[in-house]
Structure 1
């Protein structure tokens, strides 16, 4: 097979970077991965995964591990704060497969699965290291690293997240992430009998939960906050409990009573961006949150990164000039990613303004249905 690039550097060892490394190694590409965190940690509680995202995880080869260590489910139920059901969103199996319409897993668990698969693929992983300088010389890219070494590559893939240093260095005019006006709270709790994803709508927020294992689920709450600011650790538990005061649905009363210091409560502001094309410059390509960072309202942020890796591998396998490969790649990804970022943003607006629940349900249903189309 004649490949458009024989030696590739991936900067960033998150979900997108690891997935891309695995897919390129399947083709025989020589892959280096550098990750600035020497401990290769992934923070966070659980993660909700849509059926189309599970399709990408299957293409990467990790669906059996997901099934074993996570949870699979179908359907999303939406309720008012007192527990009145007003919408049931169907999440059918991915066409032509037996893949469930959705799932959930602990974020560190999925990261561990991907990390092991990345090493098993034969990719060369260097931790505690990132780039110092990137110089595109036309026929190769010369990269200087923070450990004092340097290396030439046929292609550099920036997969270093929403606050990408690669984007800043190579695309100085690119947009920067914008605060959405919402923050998300997450916690790990027992399942309390929950069998699927459920959402409850308050006056200016939404609380929901998704099973992530046989015994656990993760709670999330999207809160309207005018300022992007850190919340001290000792205020996390009482603040989250206070947010749940308006919810009288029986399961939420139980959850509020259960929440404690061991619930792994986290808070982070929600930011997003959609970088206009091109997503590549010469021999440097951006993928994942570097170019299409989304809020989590459609449970597709990580999934879009997995899909990026699958599509990049497919376009590599088709061959051709590297410029043509990168052009085909970004054109396949553009509209799908744009839709996710835009529709997720609209869902957040509806939640913050106490807008139409019917519109919220319709956007979710139509978006998830559109994602079932082939990548």
Structure 2
């Protein structure tokens, strides 16, 4: 394979950053463009990374930094709304026995680790830049950017997120669909007794939970019916989340007093997306949330994006011809696994929305996580 090949990666989130690092390691020329000037370096509260995500981060060479920056644990607790612990289950190590089952980490810290890896890889990075027009022929793609510049690439990887403009530009009409549930999230100091994820079902929210993200930090979340966003002024976000969270006991009594700054509270709908048929058109291929997304009921969104990057990079660096068959093979390898995660994640939320009392939640989660222990 010629190392003169040039790849454009659109989007500097988990999938875009990861595939950039992996392709640069193989000697390809890679340019990454990200629409936001700050490269999303300060966005978000926390994220739960399970073993199959950690496996990819190890392949990227950043696992040690993630381990130092985050909080590792191997179990999850189920509590009553008043905080009484009902059950503690040992989590499956989906990344292998030599990695923890789960690491919680602040999203900005994870993003900074990935940014540093991209910078160290030698990729060309342009921030505050959008790809506004793509023209394809049999050999590549000419891209015109918002700043008036142009470039020609052998392949374009669209990792530009759930609302991907590239997905629409290449004629893929699939769009994310709301599932009917939404979540409030906030970062807060970690009480000393919080050493794992605990989840409470019931009370004023469908789910109330928290995840440790470091020695002194956690992120907390409550999920409820989705509301019209226009009906919730951003300046009331802290009040709304605090109202819901105040109904929960146990460690919540230590967390709630810190839900005070509306600018630090995030409100997001749960969405579902799975692009069917193929994830490419010509020499433009989707990765991460541009191709699929799911509710965080299994905490697998980032893991699926990271796995996309790993598989796509493996196929591209191992082939002489970047043709339709290769990109089709990427889709066919990824879609059964991604579909299982999307469908399970949506079903877990649907059971809660519909008030299903006899749902086999442990069985569904166990089957799905066992699947993810296999290499992607």
TM-score bracket, shorter-length normalisation? over 0.9
Partner of 1:190: 189
SS at match of 1:160: coil
Alpha-carbon distance in structure 2 between the residues aligned to 1:176 and 1:4: 35
Partner of 2:116: 116
Q: In 1, are the aligned partners of 2:94 and 2:369 still within 8 Å (CA)?
A: no
| Deviates further, 111-120 or 314-323 | 314-323
Residues 11-26 of structure 1: pairs in structure 2 closer than 5 A: 11-26=10-25
Matched length: 372
Residues 210-289 of structure 1: pairs in structure 2 closer than 5 A: 210-229=211-230, 231-247=232-248, 249-261=249-261, 264-289=264-289
Alpha-carbon distance in structure 1 between the residues aligned to 2:92 and 2:24: 32
The alpha-carbon deviation at position 122 of structure 1 amounts to 0.9
Q: In 2, are the aligned partners of 1:188 and 1:263 still within 8 Å (CA)?
A: no
The alpha-carbon deviation at position 190 of structure 1 amounts to 2.0
Alpha-carbon distance in structure 2 between the residues aligned to 1:268 and 1:150: 35
Partner of 1:68: 68
The alpha-carbon deviation at position 250 of structure 1 amounts to 2.1
Deviations 1:298-327 (A, max 9, x none): 111111111111111211232142123212
Alpha-carbon distance in structure 2 between the residues aligned to 1:87 and 1:321: 52
Partner of 1:343: 344
Deviations 1:333-374 (A, max 9, x none): 111111111111111112223333762333223222221111
Alpha-carbon distance in structure 1 between the residues aligned to 2:189 and 2:250: 15
The alpha-carbon deviation at position 161 of structure 1 amounts to 0.2
TM-score normalised according to structure 1 size: 0.94
Root mean square deviation, CA, Å: 2.0
Partner of 1:318: 318
Structure 2 regions of 5+ residues with no counterpart? none
Alpha-carbon distance in structure 1 between the residues aligned to 2:67 and 2:359: 32
SS at match of 2:272: strand
Residues 1-375 of structure 1: pairs in structure 2 closer than 5 A: 2-3=1-2, 6-42=5-41, 43-94=43-94, 96-172=96-172, 174-192=173-191, 193-203=193-203, 204-229=205-230, 231-247=232-248, 249-261=249-261, 264-323=264-323, 324-356=325-357, 359-375=360-376
Deviations 1:99-142 (A, max 9, x none): 00001111111111101110110110011111121011111111
TM-aligned CA distance change 1:208 to 1:38, over 3 Å? same
TM-aligned CA distance change 1:97 to 1:281, over 3 Å? same
TM-aligned CA distance change 1:95 to 1:67, over 3 Å? closer
Q: In 1, are the aligned partners of 2:51 and 2:95 still within 8 Å (CA)?
A: no
The alpha-carbon deviation at position 268 of structure 1 amounts to 1.5
Alpha-carbon distance in structure 1 between the residues aligned to 2:290 and 2:4: 21
Alpha-carbon distance in structure 1 between the residues aligned to 2:6 and 2:216: 43
TM-aligned CA distance change 1:329 to 1:106, over 3 Å? same
TM-aligned CA distance change 1:230 to 1:186, over 3 Å? farther
TM-aligned CA distance change 1:230 to 1:109, over 3 Å? farther
Q: In 2, are the aligned partners of 1:3 and 1:316 still within 8 Å (CA)?
A: no
The alpha-carbon deviation at position 29 of structure 1 amounts to 0.7
Deviations 1:186-224 (A, max 9, x none): 111222111111101115510111110111110011111
Higher relative contact order (CA 8 A, sep 6+): 1
TM-aligned CA distance change 1:251 to 1:374, over 3 Å? same
Question: Structure 1 runs of 4+ off > 4 angstroms?
Answer: 94-97
SS at match of 2:251: helix
| Deviates further, 268-277 or 107-116 | 268-277
TM-aligned CA distance change 1:226 to 1:361, over 3 Å? farther
Alpha-carbon distance in structure 2 between the residues aligned to 1:357 and 1:244: 26
